[in-house]
Structure formats: C-alpha cells, structure tokens
Structure 1
Amino acid sequence: MDVVKRKPYFKIMFFILIVLNLYVEVNTLSYSSTQVKPMVTLEEKIWIAGDGDVSHYRIPLLTYTPQKNLLAMAEARKYDTSDAGSKFLAIRRSNDKGYSWKPQQFIENDGSIFDGISLGSVVVDDELGNIFIVFSRCNHYEKCNISSLYYVKSEDDGYTWNKPVNMSVQIGTKAFAAGPGYGIQLKNSKYKGRLLVCGHGTLEGDGMFCLISDDHGNKWRYGGMLKSIPYNKPKVSGDFIPDECQPLEMPDGTVIVNIRNQGKYHCHCRIIAKSADGGDTFLLDDVYFDENLIDPTVAAGALIQNGVMFFSNPMSTTHRVNMTLHWSHDFGKTWNYTLNIWPNPSGYSTMTAIPGLEDSVYILYEKGIVATYESLSFVKISLYP
C-alpha cells in the first residue's frame, strides 16, 4: 500500500523537476544574451618597456589554445619604437585564465635585420588542435625591397613551435601585413573548417586583403579584398584606405571585417566589409561605415561571444586615448553600451575568449601614462554580475 500511495507523489516531483530544469535553461539563455554587464575583474601589465633588455613591446596578439589556456604575443622591438627596426617575436603563456603568466620566450629573432619581423595574426585550427602565428618581413620596404610572409605552427598547445614556413612561395611577394589580431576558422557555413586571415598592404598599395586555406594551413591563396582608392598611387588625407583589420564570422556564416579607416574617408570611424562566400569576395555594395565606432585610426579588437558583439579601441576621433569596450546585442547594428578601461594613452588592442567558458572575454592592449607604447596590459572582463 505504501508503494502505491507514493507513485503519484514521485510523478508530481518528477514533473516539477522537468519544469524547473526547463525554466533554468530558458533563463540561462536569456541571461547570456541580454543581461551582459561587463566589468574589469583583473588587469596586469604583462610586458613593460625595458623588460628583458628590450626597448619596447608593441602589436599585441592574444588567443585561446585548444587546451583552454591563453597565449599572448608581441613584437619585442630591440632598440627603439620603430616599426621597421629589428625585433624578437615574444610570447607568454597563462595556464590559469590570465591570473599568472609564464616568463616570456623569444620564438623568432630577425638578428640585426632592418625592417624585420612584423606581427601578425594568430589563428587556431580547432579541428586539428594546431595554432598558427603569421608574420611578415620587409613589410615597410625600408633598406630592403622584397617582402615575405611566414607562419610558425604549434601542434602541442603552444609549448613548442615548428620552424618558419615561407608562405610567399604560394602567394607571392606582395606586401601583406596580417591583422594585427586573430584569424578565424569558419564554423557556420558550407565553408566549415576554412582558415581565414585578413590584413593590409603597403600604404600606396593598401587595402584589406584576406588569405584562405581550405586544407588546415598546408596551402594558402588570396581570397577577397577591398582595395584602396586610388590604388597603388600616392595617398592624401581623405582617401579611401582600408587598413589593419579583424575578421569575424556571424551566426549565419556571413564574414564581416572590422577595418581601420586610415584616410578617415567619410568619417573618423570604422569601415565594415561583408562576405557571403566565406571570404572569397567582398562586394562594394556591402561596405559601410560604422559611425558609432569613432576611431583615431588604430588596430582594434572585435569578438562575438554568447550572441553579443564586442569591440575595443581608444574611443577618440583624434588621439589614441580612452581605451573602451563597446558591445552590441544586434551584431553591430547599434552600439548602446560602453565600458571605459583606461582614460589615458592607449593604442592597439585585441580580444579573445576561451570556448566553453562563456562568462569572460579578455583584452590585451597598449597602455601608457605619457605614451601608448609604455606597456602591454592584459584585462579580464567578466560579463555577468
């Protein structure tokens, strides 16, 4: 009799548990997409000018790794702040989500070559678990006349790196400066698995150009581009000059590229280009200017996390100051939210997030008191209160 009496009770409890579980799932999804309230919960300077007998550190790159760790990369400029000077490719690692960092390693050294290493993009192949760092040499044509593009690859979560591979054998020697930022592996379209790295050219032959690999980085080719106007001609202020850039993949598989507006054409703001074919083409009809993202011409960070689009840059029309995080709930149609990270000199920035850990995004940016190149600072942004 006791068993018979308890059956309805168990059925009712089981039904209640199902309802509660559905309620939690629905509210968790709503919470993730609409209740983002970013706040800085950690900041640390992980490179400071003069560290390791290096003059300055610039051009921050930041990525997650296949084993859910973090890697930070930078140009270690040996003697001064010059873009064209001799450099190391510096890298630091965090195995605890940015709370501590291993000592830096120099994984490339251009010796005393003038116009040496220029970073660059980092791209993770999630399908095979490999990491690529793309960099160039002689990108400024100062005291050298042949530009070349390389990558180094890690197959063990970034602990060791293979010897550099010269990509120019496949794509030619047109000057191509990747990023700076990260490349992407497409996941939401028929081009699933494709690696896409976007960058820019020289100032005269400038524009946004993308490289594509459909075989996990063994072969590369040029894909879509958005050339400057006038192309391969001397430039003046006000010309259309797409420059440093960050690609993103939208949930529907569309690729968008957030681009530095070097000539301040139309506005002191960002250029946005779109591709419906996995980065193979970018039509002029789909190019627009995001006037809400005011910008002093700089490399900026962009990221999509939990259905929210994020953007980081020095929020100013004229000076590299006021590092700010922006976010949008409609994938960049409107930007109604900002968080100030640093009000003083601040320059290039980049962003990443660790797949599966959806409560945070991470920024690495150039930070200073007097000048932007005094340090590279790592920031953890918690997304939910």
Structure 2
Amino acid sequence: MSTIKNKKSIYFKAAIGIFITISLIIFSEQGFEAAVQGLHTWWEIVFPALLPFFIMAEILMGLGVVHFLGALLEPLMRPLFKLPGVGAFAFAMGLASGYPIGAKITGNLRRDKLCTQVEGERLIAFCNTADPLFMIGAVAVGMFSKPELGLILATAHYISCIIIGLTMRFYDPPNSNEDVTTSPYEEKGLIKHAFAELYRARKNDGRPLGKLMGESIMESVNTLLLIGGYIILFSVFTKILHLMGITKLLTFILTPILKLFSIDKSLILPIISGLFEITNGADLASQTNAPLIQQIIITSGIIAWSGFSVHAQVATMVNGTDIRTKPYIWARVLHGIVASIVTAIIFNPLRNINSLNAIPAFANQGYQISKLSLRIDYLQRIEILSLGMITFLGGLIAISLIFYIIQKITIITIKT
C-alpha cells in the first residue's frame, strides 16, 4: 500500500514539474517580467536588509556570545516557553530583521545541539516573524498611505506571535530526539554560569577571528542567494497561476466561505496572492474597495501566514536537522487566524493614535516609498533595526534577571 502511495506521489510531483515548465514556455515574456520584479525586491530590499544580521549572527555564534545570552535568558525562556535561553536570541533577531533569519538561527542552534528537536520546532513556530519596518513602512505607509495603521499591524503581529509561543509550550510529541543536556545555573550562579558558557563555546569553536569572519560572510551570502532564488521563483509562479486562470478557480471556491464572514469579495484575490507571497498579497489588499478594517484584517493575516515562498525558505534553513516543518506550517495557519482576530479587536481603539507621525518625516530624509516596496537608506535601516534588537534583548535580560532574583529569594525563604 505504501509503495503505491509513494509511486502516486512521485508521478504527481513529476506532473507538477512538467506543468510549470510548459507554463513558463507559454508565458515566457510575463514570466521574465515577474522574475525581474522579484530580483529587484531581493536586491534592493532583502539583500541589504538581511546580510549584516546574517553575518553577525554567525559571528556571535562562533564567539560564544549567543551561548552567553542564552545562559542569562534561561530563567525567562524556560518557564514561559519551555525553551532554552538561546531561543531569545533567535526571537530578537527574528523580530528585528524579519523572515527568514529566525528560522536560520534556529537551524544553527539545533545543529550545535543548543536545543532539542521539539524545542527547535517550538522556537521556529514563533521566532520567524515580519520585521517592523516592513509592516510600518512598506505596508502602512507605502501601500495604504496611512502611517497610523503601522501600529495596529505591528501590535497585532507581535501579540499573536507571543500567543503562538505560549501555545507551542504545550507541543510535546512522542518519539522525538531529546539529546541535549544543559548545565544548571543554580549550582554556580547565573552570571558565572553565563561567562563559563561563553568561554566553553568559544574554546570549542576555536576558529581564528579572520577565518570566522570569512566563513560567516560566505555562509551568509550563499544563504541570501538561495533566498533570492525562492523570491524570484515564487514571483514567477504566482504570475503564471494568475495567467492560467487558477486564481479564478480559487476565487470561485472561496467566495461562499467569505460570504459566511461578511468579507468583501474583492479581498479574494489578495488572499490567494498572499498564500504564495506576502508583499503582493498585502499590496493587492490595499488596492481593493473593501472597508478599511477588512483590508487590515486580511493584510494582518497574510503577514502572519507569510506565504509559501517564506515557508520554502524556512524548510531550507532547517535542512540537515531533524526539525520538522509540519508543526511550523500549522503554527503559521494559527498565527494568521490569531493575528486577524487580534487586529479586529484592537483596530478601533488604536485607529486614531498618531504615534507614528515620525514615519513620513523619515521618508523625507531617505525613505523613498513606492506602492510595491520601501527603499530605505541602508545605514538608517541598520541603525533602527540594531537599536530595536539591542533594546529588546536588553529588556529580556533585565526581566530574566528579575525572574532569577525572585527565584533565589523564594528558595532562600523556603529553606529558612
């Protein structure tokens, strides 16, 4: 029975491959234009935005800094998310830099045996997020021309992200590889344990700084080339599906479902496009005639879902590990639903808050906003994201230390 199933799967995949190839030949001109558009998105936005963070993540891993941060954050991450402290580094980098750096760091943590298989699956479910500049700048300002919507999108995205993280702590499937042992910080004190972990990790790595930097740059560029390939491929694939009439078929199927929730039918095309790629889906949502609240709810769900393009990138980032992608896919579905619900709840209370009025001012100093992308001055973007990441990590460390002190006081009180 299993042999027959495997044969059908092989034949089906081969048929899909042939279908896509023939479609590329038929619609070669439109496919070329879509590929160029995907290339521009990767080269002008994704590559400069992610490269420095990819490089620094690799260097910090080699220097033992991630291990140091992991030890400091253990008292916070373990009780809240059932994750090792190093998970906070992946979470912070994911929040600051966006897709798919959270997945890449999670894959590296698993390869270095800093988390178990289940912990890696829990972590990747909520640390692979959209970055705030994309939601505030590209979507709220560039697509909707309403800066105040950025606060709604970002708040809903990160609240729902934390909800997913707290939900995934109950994820504990049987027959998983639990091969990680951690030294308890209670025996030697948190700070001393953190420095011991840094020294141990650096000693085990052993690469000279020049070699570490060179290999980090090479690994990061190779990863980004791979991401670029995915962006271009799915840009072409989405265009072909539209030209082949597949989107019309999906529209026919989804129309009765959306009617049940009183959602404007003009949002069907953005939903279908967002299934594959978030930028196109969000941009199409901003161009519909649907009520604004429905546009934002759908856009929030699309951003949280992140699209098959990002899912394919995530699968590549964890390739070579035992982290399974099925829990991640289900977490994306749940994240999309929760983000949409949270957006509906907070939309009216936050609608008139003008705390993001500074965004257009930044635009005059280097932000050039278009309907499809946000070109940000390179150094300005790095500065904003770096400060955000440092602030977030600093806040987590402070909370973790408070947790640790409370725990120590409780233990001392019980003993006396």
Report the TM range for the smaller structure's normalisation: under 0.3
Instruction: Select the structure that is richer in helix.
Output: 2
Instruction: Select the structure that is richer in strand.
Output: 1
Structure 1 length-normalised TM? 0.22
